[in-house]
Structure 1
Amino acid sequence: MSEQQPNSQNAASFLLIDDNATFGQLLMRGFARRDLNLLWVPDSASALATTAPLQGIILDLNLDGESGLQLLPALLARFPKVPIVVLTGYASISTAVSAVKLGASQYLPKPADVDTLLAAFGPWELEPQEALAWVAFQPSVRKQSWEYVQFVLQQHEGNISAAARALNMHRRTLQRILQKKPVSQ
């Protein structure tokens, strides 16, 4: 477990759960510049073992082969009143819907800077000259179609026949669509 030492006793503390050490170090420095504590842990076991009082949790969706969505209910049980922001390099509508349904307070695509993350937790005092750089996430029509197919499939619990009926298409057509790579943009 790799945790940063607190900057001061009265500073707000956040927890970052991300398997990318470089990203963790960058965010730790960014939070420290704002006199905020960021504890960084690389896995779910370390996250659930954290005992520090937290104002927020930043959870990566992909934790070295583990799904952050599977960790979300355990985090909510362990830290019931702490808001959780899901952060991912693989943003999609279906995972965003799933994250919010499971209890995440926000869902942000990477890259996200410190100000964007803090804004996701609510009103924090930020430097006035630092405007929030919100990422405009507008997927292409192909990407939206892919996401909708994934959403409908998830709604039908992976049942391809039921999803095909809901999409008003032949089951084999849906199978061919699902065999293709996900659309990146």
Structure 2
Amino acid sequence: MTGDGTSPSLIIVEDDPAFARTLSRSFERRGYAVQHADSPDRLVALLDSHDFEFAVVDLKLGTVSGLPCVEMIHARDPQTRIVVLTGFASIATAVEAIKLGAAHYLAKPANTDDIEEAFGRATGDANVPIDGRKSSIKTVEWEYIHTTLAECDFNISETARRLGMHRRTLARKLEKRQLR
């Protein structure tokens, strides 16, 4: 609850209707007033008529990036606590999300507890352990692709040109899920 006795407001920007519905119901049970946007255009319409204290934004909305949504929400109200969710975690996109105003970045699958905990984290933790796990070749490739993708403002054609690969090859690589 907010200080004035009303429910905290939350916007979920997610293109998967089943996941958005599950997340919405879970947050509603916790007392949040939830709105859902399945695209950047729908988000613009909701931002024009609502103020949000919290936001959950999927990094990949169909064929477009969710990062412009993070930027829009933050520009509208810098106090909104934004958490970015992704099944395509990379250092490049995490850095960009934080630069654009996200408070936290979580890899899927993330549950309501994880997201709510991320909303509450206002500062970093210098005691987070650094794991000694070596990166695989696939992970290094994934990171490099996403760094280049971020540098190209998520333009697939330009990214493919800079990487020296065919656009369809890059699109196939982006559709694959990150190895755990």
**TM-score, length-scaled by structure 1:** 0.67
- Do residues 11 (structure 1) and 28 (structure 2) align? no
Match of 2:41 in 1: 45
Residue by residue over 1:115-159, the C-alpha shift from the partner in whole angstroms, topping out at 9 and shown as x without a partner, is: 111111106xxxxxxxxxxxx9x7842243224433664687679
Measure the CA separation in 2 of the matches of 1:35 and 1:85.
18
Maintained 8 Å contact 2:90/2:143: no
Aligned to 2:79, the other structure's residue is in SS state coil
5+ residue gaps, structure 1, are 1-8, 124-135, 164-173
- Do residues 23 (structure 1) and 48 (structure 2) align? no
Maintained 8 Å contact 2:92/2:150: no
Measure the CA separation in 2 of the matches of 1:139 and 1:23.
32
Task: Give the aligned length.
Answer: 152
- Do residues 104 (structure 1) and 102 (structure 2) align? yes
Partner AA of 1:13 in structure 2? S
Measure the CA separation in 2 of the matches of 1:87 and 1:106.
9
Residue by residue over 1:152-174, the C-alpha shift from the partner in whole angstroms, topping out at 9 and shown as x without a partner, is: 646876799xx9xxxxxxxxxx7
Q: CA RMSD in A?
A: 3.1
Measure the CA separation in 2 of the matches of 1:10 and 1:159.
45
Q: In 2 relative to 1, CA 56–153 (structure 1 residues): closer, same or farther, beyond 3 Å?
A: same
Measure the CA separation in 1 of the matches of 2:27 and 2:150.
38
Aligned to 1:58, the other structure's residue is in SS state strand
- From 70, 75, 78, the counterpart of 1:80: 78
Match of 1:126 in 2: none
Aligned to 1:40, the other structure's residue is in SS state strand
Structure with max Cα Rg: 1
- From 139, 142, 150, the counterpart of 1:144: 139
